[in-house]
Amino acid sequence: MTAFRDAALVLVVGLAVVAQSVIFRFVAVDGVVPNLALIVVVAAAISRGSQFAAVLGFATGLLLDLAPPADHVAGRWALALVVVGYLAGRVRQDARTSPVMAVGLVAAMSFVGTSVFALTGVVLDDGVLPVDLTIKVLLISVLWDVALAPFLVPGLVWLVDRLGSYGRTTGSLASTYRMP
């Protein structure tokens, strides 16, 4: 059962990574697509806490770094999503109790994640855009994630809850969320 749940999680993450580069390129605004992988990580953080989310963020980020369209230094998204997963997990109680907070959390994490990614790019001198353009990309990506969060976060939280609700200590918290 654990193997199945892990496989399902990998599938969700993989789906997010593929979808954001294949499907959402049709609706890209100035080339910026919603960061579905980041939304998945935030949802996982809301559902299961910072430790789990950080690990999932690392894996998801690594997949983003290595999957075909990527041509940047590997590990940058991994680092960004680790930070996102950890931070999102720290404030998950607030995000659990109100959908507005959840959307706000996605917005904040989107900003943090993209910023961390951009900053590592600056440090590594890898794919750096001018500052004004970077800020524009940052804003569009935050708006994208905020626009999609209300539709995706509840479902993803529910899904991660389901996938992790067997015999885990954090699972009890998830069930209290669904039936307050």
Q: Is the dihedral of CA 83, 84, 89, 90 positive or negative?
A: positive
| Radius of gyration for the alpha carbons in the chain, expressed in angstroms and rounded | 16
Distance separating alpha carbons of residues 124 and 109, to the nearest angstrom: 22
Interface with another protein, residue 120, by CB under 8 A:
yes
Binder among 34, 40, 58, 103 for another protein (CB under 8 A): 58
Part of the chain binding another protein (CB under 8 A), chosen from 36-44, 56-64, 127-135, 144-152: 56-64
Distance separating alpha carbons of residues 2 and 157, to the nearest angstrom: 18
Least Å from the CB of residue 3 to another protein:
18
Interface with another protein, residue 35, by CB under 8 A:
no
Interface with another protein, residue 75, by CB under 8 A:
yes
Least Å from the CB of residue 66 to another protein:
4
Residues in the interface with another protein (CB under 8 A) total: 42
Phi, psi of 32 (to 5 degrees): -95, 130
Q: Kindly give, in sequence order, each residue whose CB lies less than 8 Å from that of residue 59, ignoring residues fewer than 6 positions away.
A: 13
Part of the chain binding another protein (CB under 8 A), chosen from 39-47, 49-57, 137-145, 147-155: 49-57
Least Å from the CB of residue 46 to another protein:
13
Distance separating alpha carbons of residues 43 and 85, to the nearest angstrom: 9
Distance separating alpha carbons of residues 142 and 174, to the nearest angstrom: 27
What does the binding site for another protein look like in residue numbers (CB under 8 A)?
Answer: 14, 17-19, 21-23, 26-27, 49-51, 54-55, 57-58, 61-63, 65-68, 73-76, 78-79, 82-83, 86, 89-90, 93, 120, 124, 126, 169-170, 172-173
